[in-house]
Amino acid sequence: MDYLVITLITFISGVVGTGLGGVIGAILKRDSNKIVSLLLSFAAGIMLAVVCFDLMSEPIEMMKEGSMPKLTPLIVVAAVAVGYGVVYALNYFIDKRTNHEVTHIDENHPATADDLDELIHSNHYESHKNNKSSLFVAGLVMMFAIALHNLPEGMVIGASYAISSDVAKSLFSGSGFIMAIVIGLHNVPEGMAVSVPLISGGMSKPKSVLLTALSGLPTVFGALLGFALGGISDIMLVLSLGFASGAMLYVVFGELLPESILMWRSKLPAFALFFGVLVGFLLVMF
């Protein structure tokens, strides 16, 4: 029953959220950098609050209750560092193999993505739309890049629900539900970035929306993985929470925040992040 609940909530967050963005992209065929910038930074702020005030603090509460050793803070730090490092390394590898094929990414380009299309490599896909032999590989790269973000996001949801003794009762409360909502919202602009180049490359709107929605499936797999690992034992729950938190912190600090500022070069994205942290804190506390 618990796995069915986790699958349902993350399916809505990942597949439906991304698919909704695909529908919007198919209708409008454009996005607003300013709106997307604020949405991404606000979502990043809530993610940051949930990770720091809830997920990373849960192992400390377990230590105080006597179910975890005194070295728990060091275990958490190590797991967070591993999660951060793994996602960073995978993103670095993809960037290294693909950025040189996109003409506008040169030595003068910022070291991080300054557009949502770059973050998920749909610009790489679009650069190959006239070459069928390499278009398929470019599509795989784009889908893998999306999976890199969605998998740890799903793990955060799953590990959050693993904290609860009764998942069904906590379906509409707690950090798992909060993260599911926030991740669903931030998947909307991602879905727009996926569907627009697919349609521009000649794919039909229904098919592009379907593929865009399916790109959100790694969220479900990540949630099931995080929940399964967290349910094995207390130490596995701590490691799962730490790894997922580290992966999410990389997404926040290494991608969403710098990208949102580059998309709208002003102080407003930072204010949106600040406001998101406050909202996230209130959601966790209440």
Q: pLDDT category, 5, cuts 50, 70, 90?
A: confident
Of 23-37, 211-225, 269-283, the least confident: 23-37
* pLDDT tens digits, one per residue of 168-213: 555 666 678 888 888 888 888 888 888 887 787 777 889 889 988 9
166: which 2 tokens? 């009764």
CA 281 to chain CA centroid, nearest Å: 19
Our CA angle for 21, 27, 28, nearest 5°, is 85
Q: pLDDT category, 29, cuts 50, 70, 90?
A: low
Query: CA distances (Å), 217 to each of 119, 221, 233, 260, in order?
Result: 18, 7, 26, 25
Q: Alpha-carbon distance 135 to 194, whole Å?
A: 14
- 33 pLDDT higher than 90: no
* pLDDT tens digits, one per residue of 129-162: 777 778 778 878 887 888 888 888 898 888 888 8
Domain edges within the chain: 2-285
pLDDT at 117: 84
Q: Alpha-carbon distance 199 to 194, whole Å?
A: 9
Mean pLDDT on 91-97: 89
Q: Which of 143 and 124 is assigned the larger pLDDT? A: 124
* pLDDT tens digits, one per residue of 208-257: 899 889 889 999 999 999 889 888 888 898 999 899 899 989 989 998 89
Q: Alpha-carbon distance 132 to 182, whole Å?
A: 36
Stated pTM of the model: 0.85
21: which 2 tokens? 């963005």
2-10 vs 217-230: helix crossing angle, rounded to 10: 150
Mind giving me the DSSP string for 171-189?
A: TTSHHHHHHHHHHHHHHHH
The region that residue 110 occupies, defined by phi over 0 for left and psi between -120 and 50 for alpha, beta otherwise, is beta
